[in-house]
Amino acid sequence: MKNISESLAGRAVLFDLAPFCSTETNPSTELNELLWNGLYPEPTLSPEKRDLWVSSYLQTYLERDIRQLGNVSDIHSFKTVVRLRAARHGQELNLTALSRESGVAAATVKKWIGLLESCYLIFLLPPFHNNLGKRVVKSPKIYFMDSAPAAFLTHQPSAEALGCGSMCGAFFEGFIVAEAIKCFFNHGKNPELFFWRSHDGLKVDLLIQIAGKTVPVEIKRTATPKRAGYILVHKTPPPRPD
């Protein structure tokens, strides 16, 4: 669209096409395999091609497409920022820390983060504001739209290692957030998703605004889930965004 001379306003409809939803995959696929292979069509349908596809995707997308789109001159520093961001998958954005560790000016890091978001490699989950003032953390949380590139950039050696490593919780949380995003995208809606956290340590992993309601979601990966403190829904499907 960058090279289209006309705006096409009123004559074009744009859809956000995300990777597969988990419901579009083999229901017998284990969670660790879903996180490892991701949900792009090629590695989902042909898991044996996963390593080759993801490495090629990142190389062509980061080093050619995104670089040209954003006029990125220092590709080495750009890739460093992307890797550092992958290591903080699911954490709040800290421009100062990223700038210090990468050696790139904070303004440039902010620009590159916006570029990655516009190219759908990452998603910024904004904080929820409702007259809470300074008690609410203002920085967004950043998730990769698909877990396979994040796993590749963080050098996860296998699906099993990913599932029991220090980042397993972050990958699971990112997976749930991405599924919520896809639900909105697939119905032609903008995701009304937030997180909430106070300086007192209270937090809600995901807030979904839908049909005039705000639904809080606690995301936790555990081998021993407890009913206390959770709302378990087994038979009722989630509400449609419309």
Q: Average of pLDDT values for 181-206?
A: 89
CA distance 156 to 35: 11
Residue 2 pLDDT: 65
Q: What is the pLDDT of residue 228?
A: 56
pLDDT of residue 227: 61
**Cβ-contact 147, 31 below 8 angstroms:** no
The dihedral over CA atoms of 58, 35, 216, 189, expressed in degrees to the nearest 10, equals: 50
**Amino acid 239: pLDDT:** 47
- 35 pLDDT more than 60: yes
Asked whether residue 238 carries a pLDDT value surpassing 70, the answer given is no
* The pLDDT value given to residue 5: 76
Look over the chain and give the mean of its residue pLDDT values, rounded to a whole number. 85
pLDDT band at 230 (very low <50, low <70, confident <90, very high): very low
Burial class (CB in 10 A: 0-12, 13-18, 19+), 158: exposed
pLDDT value at residue 30: 92
Query: Could you read off the pLDDT of 85-113 as tens digits, one per residue?
Result: 999 999 999 999 999 999 999 999 999 99
Residues 89 and 171 sit within 8 Å (Cβ to Cβ): yes
User: Angle at CA 212, nearest 5°, toward 136 and 92?
Assistant: 30
Q: In the chain, what are the domains?
A: 22-217 (1.10.10.10)
Task: Tell me the sheet residues that pair with 143.
Answer: 123
The percent of residues in the chain predicted with pLDDT above 70, rounded, is 88
CA pseudo-torsion sign 112, 114, 120, 123: positive
Q: How far is CA 30 from CA 26, 159, 162, 222, 227, in A?
A: 9, 10, 13, 15, 23
Residue 1 is predicted with a pLDDT of: 62
> Which of the two residues, 183 and 234, has the higher pLDDT score?
183
SS3 205: strand
What is the rounded CA–CA span in Å between residue 203 and residue 153? 28
pTM assigned to the model: 0.84
Specify the higher pLDDT residue, 239 or 65: 65
Cα 59 versus chain centre, distance? 19
pLDDT band at 205 (very low <50, low <70, confident <90, very high): very high
Pairing of strands 122-125, 213-217: unpaired
What's residue 130's pLDDT? 63
Cα 95 to chain centroid, rounded: 18
